Structure 1
Amino acid sequence: MDDSFDAPRQSLLDVVQEKLQKQGKTVVYSRLVYVASLEAKVTDKEALQAFHEQIFASSRPEDKPDHTGMLLVFPNCFVHVIETQTKHILSFLRELSKISAADRPYGGMRIISSTEDIPARVFSQWFCTFCTAPTQDKYETIQKEELVTCASDINLKFIKFGKQLSEMSEKEVQSAMQDLRAAYVELPTTNQVVGLILSDEPPTLEEFMDIYDCPIDIDLDSENVWPMQIPITFGNQ
């Protein structure tokens, strides 16, 4: 039998990376944006920052992390933007998926944007900051017809903010991190973030990994028919 039948099955990510390599792109950067809720309200960024830094370190034990982006922590939720090589984003998510949902310091994680082969990174480094914001006892779910617009709006706001930070001096960046609302009035609201978390439409971590990190399973119509059709033979048998 042809050895090709015994070759390991490819994931969707493998297919995309193979295509990009054929185009001569050996280093491909991607941007991932996800949101999550916090079971208990927080007043600082420390615990979430330490948790994510550990995941970054575990995902690349032999290399120095080269990720950029922003972890923006609100009292009851957060938004995390990661920019790095596509393979490193998947390594990060694999490490994250090893931790049971019960052991993560947050819940309701939803991936709202994943962009491969971005033209350039907009953040100069990885920022982690806390932003005070009013919270509510009840939030409204973002409706399906508004979902793409809301997720795109958050993604574009962070792209714009990243570019703005990259043009600042170190002193200006420090000042911006201390008063985010004054530095950038277009920050997403907790209503937007929690509304996306409550929606069933954006994929969870597990659903995202099933799509991008599991072998592609092509379901042929002929396999769903009984009795199965007789295979077509070629040449002289």
Structure 2
Amino acid sequence: MADTLRSQLEAGPRDSLLDVILNKVAKAGKSVLITRIVYVARMLQRHNTMEGVRLQMSRIIDKHGQDGEITGFLLVYPLCYIHVIEGKTPQLMGVLREVLTHGSELRLTETRVISSCEDVPARYFNTWYAAFLPSNSSVEVMDPLDTFGAVKSASNINAFLRKAGPELTSPQDPETRRKLSAVESSFEEVPAQEVVLSLAPTEDAPTVSEYLDIFDAPVNVDLESEQVWPMPAQLRY
């Protein structure tokens, strides 16, 4: 036992789990870990164009991701939108915090984070895009999806985004601009507005506020021993 302890001490401190992960990332040739977050939002005010929403989000994206560090796609409907953002985790958290702030200006009534993945293998999008998808539907509110329906719809939205990303080459490219101006006829399996409206109220995904409380707030743990009175006697070693 003494010889084993002596050899461990002579070998120096062992790697932590974080050290192991960082070494693995370095060996893979990665210098930056990219996170992808997809959320949906429902708006109280009907929009006939995307400009109001796009300008707000473009300002936030530029503020938190200089030189195109944040990529993604904002798909705006008359009553809701889908937004996927890709970048460093602190940058995306900054974007989501401002989503809560600008929500009062856009009159957001419900938000849900339907997908979140850290250390993604690759980005879906090479820059940040926005498009508007008109809808003739008169439906303004949908019942929330159950667990199965929420998972299926969120998966379909992710599949749509994964396929759409490679088809967009540059905001200045004429073919890209054509596709963004006619989303429904240019891409396959485009989510309908009703799908987004039914995802927004589901309780099977966290709101943006709840997501930030989980992933971007200090951990506050109440030990069971701290909730007992009188306090138990200290252990003696």
TM-score (norm 1): 0.80
Q: CA deviation at 1:114?
A: 0.9
Q: How many Å separate the matches in 2 of 1:17 and 1:95?
A: 30
Corresponding residue number in structure 1 for 2:11 = none
The offset of 1:45, in angstroms, is 0.9
Amino acid at match of 1:223: E
Candidates 46, 50, 60, aligned match of 1:41: 46
1:137-180, Cα deviation, whole Å (9 max, x unpaired): 4423111232222212211211121123359x933212211211
Q: Which has the higher contact order (CA 8 A, sep 6+)?
A: 1
Number of the residue aligned with 1:139: 142
Structure 1: how far apart are the matches of 2:19 and 2:182?
A: 43
Change (3 A) 1:94 1:41: closer
Q: Which residue of 2 aligns with 1:9?
A: none
Unaligned ranges ≥5, structure 1: 1-15
SS of the aligned residue for 1:147 comes to helix
Provide the C-alpha distance between the structure 2 equivalents of 1:185 and 1:127, rounded to a whole number of angstroms: 17
- C-alpha contact 1:59 1:95 (8 A) present in aligned 2: no
Question: Equivalent residue for 1:54?
Answer: 59
Matches within 5 A, 1:88-167: 88-97=91-100, 99=101, 101-135=103-137, 136-166=139-169
Cα distance between partner residues in 2 of 1:127 and 1:57:
12
* C-alpha separation in 1, matches of 2:193 and 2:41: 11
Q: Give the 3 Å change call, closer, same or farther, for CA 107–33 of structure 1 in structure 2.
A: same
Instruction: State the shift of 1:35 in Å.
Output: 0.7
- The answer to whether residue 31 in structure 2 is matched with residue 29 in structure 1 is no
Distance in 2 separating the partners of 1:194 and 1:208: 19
- Native 8 Å contact 1:133 1:190 kept in 2: yes
Comparing 143-152 and 114-123, the one that deviates more: 143-152
Once the 2 structures are TM-superposed, how far is the Cα of residue 22 of structure 1 from its aligned partner?
A: 5.5
Shift of 1:229: 2.3
CA RMSD of aligned residues (A): 2.7
Return closer, same or farther for 1:107/1:19 CA change in 2, 3 Å cut-off. farther
Structure possessing the higher radius of gyration over alpha carbons: 2
Rounded to whole Å, the distance in 1 between the matches of 2:20 and 2:197 is 36
Q: What letter is aligned with 1:48?
A: V
Verify: 1:197 aligned to 2:200, yes or no: yes
CA 1:175–1:202: 2 relative to 1, 3 Å: same
Identity, in percent, stands at: 30
**Structure 1 position 184, deviation (Å):** 0.9
Give the equivalent residue in structure 1 for 2:75.
72
Q: TM-score, normalised by structure 2?
A: 0.80
Contact 2:68 2:128 in 1 (8 A): no
**Can you list the C-alpha shifts for 1:114-133, whole angstroms capped at 9, x where unaligned?**
11100000212211110112
CA distance in 2 between counterparts of 1:55 and 1:31 reads: 16
